[in-house]
């Protein structure tokens, strides 16, 4: 199964534009105030601060979570000092805008949103700006006169309340999130990373850490620098061949033995099966290659590596049972979830970086859902596969931060009522 066929066209500016993308929602479209529901707890708290006329409390919350500025895509930059934010002029005054993450509109081809802290905003906001409107045209709007004293107040709120990871390791469920069952399932496949990064798991209006940060994320972690790079990686993740093939080969040997011989597979029998199967496969696929033990150092080394994975997997599974990631007699059948969980996020990262159209993001999420359902039977089973894949990729049996973070995300997703694992049926 491959994403696309054909892909949406690229416009004259070099930006992919699908039928849904070139829309007029540059700024958030807010329904009538009487029917407006705060998308997350952040906006609800902001409205409560306004109801109490608690401007200081309002600013402390904005300082803690940061905000997003609308910027012409041509003027976007990771450095806030180099940006040219969107402004409007009325009645002889110039105003600019700041939004909390979950009121942002659908991504637009030509206007993007960049993350900014209140301190950075105080330092770089042009001197000709008279008014800052936070969440304008919503019931939690606050308009502030921009002068030296006000800028100093923003800096003080930032110093008191902002820490880079304050909003990480939490479940966020938007009240106005996606409703299509298959899209929700595809989104939920990326819930581990959403909890780790503190992002709403059920939003299709993806802005992530801001446009430039999304571009940087894909370049730094995936080597993706353009649309074709995103397409290639997205398809590889959907086919589960980014980093899971050797691991699933070893797990597949155990699955075979459990079905053909005894569900309680002896570890030594498992290693023997892995060794003999890989040697047979190499002999079949590379005619003339000697695969008998001791005759080919390269084959021996690869077989030894795969057999070593048996012990590593067994040790991780023992820890998973102790930490209740697996039931007492549970085991992992496949680590496909590791690629599929990242495929769910890659669809959104590609959208945030404007490498993917809205339609392509939707297709990738639907395909993620279909692949996950074809390989797993429950969120618990999917989670165990995802965690094992992450550990085999990063943790090296240290049981350090790479494991602790994903274990915390798993426990949050198990425990909280608004978790996708409780809201979205797996099958």
Query: Does pLDDT of 5 surpass 50?
Result: no
Mean pLDDT of the chain: 93
Q: How confident is the model at residue 18 (pLDDT cuts 50, 70, 90)?
A: low
Strands 142-145 and 111-116: unpaired
Identify the CA nearest to 118 among candidates 61, 40, 200: 61
Q: Are the beta carbons of 50 and 33 closer than 8 angstroms?
A: no
Task: State CA 299 to chain mean position distance.
Answer: 38
- Segments making up each domain of the chain, as ranges: 33-161, 181-243+336-423, 245-322
Identify the CA nearest to 351 among candidates 341, 361, 366, 342: 361
Q: Please report the pLDDT score of residue 66 as a whole number.
A: 96
* DSSP-assigned beta bridge partners for residue 115: 68
Q: Please report the pLDDT score of residue 7 as a whole number.
A: 46
Cα distances from 390 to residues 387, 411, 423, in angstroms, run 5, 16, 25
Percent of the chain at pLDDT > 90 equals: 88
Q: Please report the pLDDT score of residue 35 as a whole number.
A: 82
Taking only the tens place, the pLDDT of each residue in 94-133 is 999 999 999 999 999 999 999 999 999 999 999 999 999 9
Q: Please report the pLDDT score of residue 25 as a whole number.
A: 86
Give the C-alpha separation, 62 to 158, whole Å: 9
Residue 306: phi, psi to the nearest 5?
-65, -40
Assign 3-state DSSP to the chain and report helix, strand, coil percentages, each to 5: 55, 10, 40
Residue 97: phi, psi to the nearest 5?
-130, 150
Q: How confident is the model at residue 12 (pLDDT cuts 50, 70, 90)?
A: very low
Q: How confident is the model at residue 15 (pLDDT cuts 50, 70, 90)?
A: low
* DSSP-assigned beta bridge partners for residue 391: none
Q: Please report the pLDDT score of residue 288 as a whole number.
A: 87
Q: State the average pLDDT over residues 405-414.
A: 98
Alpha helix (H) ranges present in 114-206? 118-124, 148-161, 181-188, 191-197
Identify the CA nearest to 58 among candidates 161, 127, 137, 207: 161
Taking only the tens place, the pLDDT of each residue in 321-367 is 999 999 999 999 999 999 999 999 999 999 999 999 999 999 999 99
Identify the CA nearest to 188 among candidates 388, 392, 407, 380: 380
Taking only the tens place, the pLDDT of each residue in 190-243 is 999 999 999 999 999 999 999 999 999 999 999 999 999 999 999 999 999 998
Q: Please report the pLDDT score of residue 165 as a whole number.
A: 82
Identify the CA nearest to 184 among candidates 376, 372, 380: 372
Residue 113: phi, psi to the nearest 5?
-120, 130
Tokens of 14: 């070099």
Taking only the tens place, the pLDDT of each residue in 25-47 is 889 888 776 788 999 999 999 99
Alpha helix (H) ranges present in 162-261? 181-188, 191-197, 211-222, 227-238, 245-260
């Amino acid at each position: 199964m491959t994403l696309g066929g054909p892909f949406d066209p690229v416009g004259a500016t070099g930006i992919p534009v699908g039928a849904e993308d070139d829309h007029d929602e540059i700024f958030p479209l807010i329904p009538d105030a009487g029917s407006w529901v705060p998308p997350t707890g952040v906006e609800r708290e902001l409205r409560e601060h306004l109801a109490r006329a608690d401007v200081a409390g309002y600013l402390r919350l904005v300082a803690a979570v940061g905000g997003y500025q609308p910027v012409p895509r041509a003027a976007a930059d990771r450095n806030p000092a180099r940006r040219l934010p969107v402004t409007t002029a009325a009645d002889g005054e110039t105003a600019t805008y700041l939004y909390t993450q979950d009121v942002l509109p659908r991504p637009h081809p030509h206007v993007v949103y960049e993350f900014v802290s209140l301190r950075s905003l105080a330092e770089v906001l042009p001197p000709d700006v008279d008014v800052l409107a936070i969440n304008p045209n919503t019931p939690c709007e606050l308009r502030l006169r921009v002068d030296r004293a006000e800028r100093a107040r923003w800096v003080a709120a930032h110093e008191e309340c902002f820490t880079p990871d304050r909003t990480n390791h939490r479940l966020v469920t938007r009240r106005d999130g996606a409703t299509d069952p298959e899209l929700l399932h595809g989104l939920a496949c990326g819930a581990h990373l959403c909890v780790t990064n503190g992002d709403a798991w059920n939003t299709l209006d993806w802005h992530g850490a801001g446009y430039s940060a999304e571009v940087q994320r894909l370049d730094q972690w995936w080597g993706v620098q353009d649309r074709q790079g995103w397409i290639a990686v997205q398809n590889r993740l959907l086919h589960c061949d980014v980093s899971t093939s050797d691991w699933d080969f070893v797990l597949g040997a155990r699955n075979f033995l459990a079905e053909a011989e005894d569900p309680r597979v002896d570890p030594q029998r498992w290693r023997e099966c892995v060794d003999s199967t890989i040697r047979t496969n190499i002999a079949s696929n590379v005619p003339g290659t000697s695969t008998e033990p001791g005759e080919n150092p390269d084959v021996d080394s690869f077989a030894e590596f795969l057999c070593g994975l048996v012990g590593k997997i067994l040790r991780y599974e023992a820890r998973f049972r102790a930490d209740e990631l697996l039931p007492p007699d549970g085991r992992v059948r496949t680590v496909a979830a590791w690629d599929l969980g990242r495929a769910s996020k890659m669809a959104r990262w590609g959208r945030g970086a404007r490498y993917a159209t809205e339609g392509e993001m939707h297709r990738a999420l639907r395909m993620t859902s279909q692949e996950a359902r074809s390989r797993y039977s429950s969120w618990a089973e999917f989670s165990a596969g995802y965690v094992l894949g992450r550990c085999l990729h990063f943790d090296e049996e240290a049981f350090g931060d790479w494991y602790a973070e994903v274990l915390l995300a798993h426990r949050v997703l198990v425990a909280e009522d608004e978790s996708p694992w409780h809201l979205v049926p797996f099958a």
